[in-house]
């Protein structure tokens, strides 16, 4: 193999466009759905302003419905143009509903501004600005409902194989293993994993995953062509630059899209910051963001939202506690030692979901899917994570945060520290009631390596908006999780 290879040939953009064309029908559905949502919202704005709001109408005469109805196509066209030119119709596989809504906020704001400008320029008929405001709010609500329904349809279609991208993973070891398992975990993202091409000894292939394995000696280009791969992900770890270039070019020659997992992934969590010095690009590894003023910002956020969440949580906890007390012996609450911020031990509070003194004979053991220690009520409260609600008290005491790495018991933490090099870095953040790993469905039934990866990413990318995003995603994950019991 040559010491240095040619630059990667610029075919990736064409390959990416080819794979995204498969999502054309889904884009069309979104355009039609937006048009209907905005159109109905515009009409709803007229109806609310002049028939339901109770706000006095200038002159006492309701304006002609026909004039407002004639403006609906203009409103729809303006919305579609704004969303088109701001890139909102470029589908991103793996983007959450919350991310999609947040990223659309700027487009909606631009639509409102342009709508006000057009209304001011048009002199043929004096449209009410209150109607525009009411119509914008109604259109936004219908848009949120429409996109939620379309995302459910999109997930079902992608899971069934419609519009799916055939993905080939090249590499072996921890990074490739993680990638394979995550692609398998979320079929609704539309990535159809067709096989893996191990490099080196082949050690570290995804355990328990039934996946075709293709020897690299067959030639990566031939494998890509034969298996009709749309995308190839190179997870080569510490492989040299020349090998990455050679394999990438072999894939691009077959028209496949190429993605490369950075070889520094094993020493950081993708929280890189880039800058240029005299034209030279530099990549910096990010330190822990939860220090100094950020800790106080997080604490203020916790107190405010915990008080808000406690209002509905208290009666739910009371009802669950009564049900537990009536159906099994022992206190409905129990405390358990956990490791907190910087390794401080504290007592976390939960609703009891198992028989009293469940570990009296066995000692500390992990919960399993078929654990017969759970009570009838316990199965219910664990299924919907209601047993975690008393931890709001821990948050108010400052022992926990609403969002952060889940606290571990000292017994298991010592085992994990001996096995996983970066495990203790999780303690650089206050433990949380929910976390980035949990909303990505990484709970008891998943590997500790994956949870560490997501926890460290959270610590290195923390922000108040990130915490808010995780809180918004948590109810959805509670309803549709696969790995909590």
Beta bridge mates, 345: 339
Note if the pTM is more than 0.85. Answer: no
pLDDT in tens, the chain (485 residues): 333 334 444 444 444 444 455 667 888 889 999 999 999 999 998 888 888 877 777 777 778 888 888 889 999 999 999 999 888 888 777 777 778 888 888 888 898 888 888 877 776 666 777 888 888 889 889 999 999 898 888 888 887 878 788 899 998 877 788 788 878 877 778 888 899 998 865 444 555 567 889 998 899 999 999 999 988 988 886 666 778 888 888 888 888 888 887 655 444 555 555 555 445 555 555 567 788 888 999 999 999 999 999 999 999 999 999 999 999 888 999 899 999 998 899 999 999 988 877 776 666 666 766 677 888 888 898 888 899 999 999 999 999 999 999 999 888 888 888 887 778 888 889 999 999 988 888 876 667 877 888 888 898 888 888 899 899 889 888 877 665 55
Q: In which element (H, E) is residue 136 found?
A: helix 129-159
CA distance 337 to 408: 9
Question: Coil, strand or helix: which one is 447?
Answer: coil
CA distances from 13 to 16, 231, 437 (A): 5, 12, 31
- Pairing state of beta strands 165-170 and 231-234? parallel
Residue 352 tokens, joined: 């009891």
CA distance 404 to 22: 38
Phi, then psi, of 369 in degrees rounded to 5: -65, -30
Domains of the chain by start residue, with CATH:
17-159 (no CATH), 164-266 (3.40.50.720), 293-480 (no CATH)
CB atoms within 10 A of CB 144: 15
Question: Coil, strand or helix: which one is 336?
Answer: strand
Do residues 460 and 269 make contact, with C-beta atoms less than 8 angstroms apart? Answer: yes
CA distance 175 to 450: 10
Which has the closest alpha carbon to 428: 346, 302, 342? Answer: 342
Q: Which residues of 184-197 are buried (b: 16+ CB within 10 A; e: fewer)?
A: ebbbbbbbbbbbbb
Torsion region of 54: left, alpha or beta (phi above 0 gives left; psi -120 to 50 gives alpha) = left
CB atoms within 10 A of CB 21: 10
Do residues 169 and 233 make contact, with C-beta atoms less than 8 angstroms apart? Answer: yes
């Amino acid at each position: 193999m040559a010491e240095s290879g040619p630059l990667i040939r610029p075919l990736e953009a064409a390959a990416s466009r080819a794979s995204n064309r498969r999502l054309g029908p889904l884009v069309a559905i979104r355009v039609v759905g937006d048009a209907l949502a905005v159109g109905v919202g515009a009409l709803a704005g007229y109806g609310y302003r002049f028939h339901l709001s109770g706000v006095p109408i200038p002159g006492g005469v309701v304006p002609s419905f026909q004039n407002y109805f004639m403006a609906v196509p203009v409103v729809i066209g303006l919305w579609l143009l704004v969303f088109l030119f701001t890139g909102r119709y470029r589908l991103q596989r793996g983007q959450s509903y919350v991310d999609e809504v947040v990223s659309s906020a700027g487009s909606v704001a631009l639509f409102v501004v342009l709508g006000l400008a057009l209304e001011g320029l048009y002199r043929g008929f004096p449209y009410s600005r209150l109607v525009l405001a009411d119509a914008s709010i109604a259109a936004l609500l219908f848009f949120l409902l429409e996109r939620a329904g379309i995302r459910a349809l999109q997930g079902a279609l992608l899971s069934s194989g419609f519009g799916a991208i055939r993905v080939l993973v090249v590499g072996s070891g921890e990074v490739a293993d993680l990638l394979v398992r995550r692609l398998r975990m979320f079929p609704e993202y539309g990535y159809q994993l067709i096989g893996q091409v191990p490099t080196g000894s082949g050690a570290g292939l995804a355990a328990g995953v039934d996946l075709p394995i293709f020897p690299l000696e067959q030639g990566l280009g031939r494998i890509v062509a034969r298996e009709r791969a749309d995308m190839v992900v190179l997870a080569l770890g510490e492989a040299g630059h020349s090998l990455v270039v050679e394999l990438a070019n072999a894939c691009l020659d077959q028209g496949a899209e190429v993605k490369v997992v950075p070889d520094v992934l094993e020493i950081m969590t993708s929280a890189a910051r880039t800058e240029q010095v005299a034209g030279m690009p530099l990549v910096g590894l990010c330190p822990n963001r939860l220090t100094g003023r950020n800790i106080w910002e997080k604490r203020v956020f916790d107190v405010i939202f915990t008080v808000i969440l406690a209002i509905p949580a208290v009666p739910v906890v009371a009802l669950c506690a009564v049900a537990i007390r009536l159906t099994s012996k022992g206190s409905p609450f129990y405390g358990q030692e956990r490791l907190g911020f910087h390794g401080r031990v504290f007592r976390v509070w939960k609703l009891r979901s198992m028989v009293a003194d469940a570990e009296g004979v066995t000692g500390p053991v992990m919960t399993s899917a078929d654990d017969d220690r759970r009570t009838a009520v316990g199965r219910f409260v664990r299924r919907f994570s209601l047993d975690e609600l008393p931890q709001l008290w821990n948050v108010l005491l400052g022992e926990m945060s609403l969002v952060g790495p889940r606290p571990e018991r000292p017994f298991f933490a010592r085992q994990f520290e001996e096995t996983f090099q970066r495990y203790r870095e999780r303690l650089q953040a206050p433990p949380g009631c929910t976390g980035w790993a949990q909303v990505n469905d990484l709970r008891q039934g998943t590997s500790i390596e994956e949870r560490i990866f997501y926890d460290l990413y959270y610590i290195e990318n923390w922000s108040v908006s990130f915490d808010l995003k995780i809180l918004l995603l948590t109810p959805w994950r509670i309803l549709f999780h696969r790995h909590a019991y």
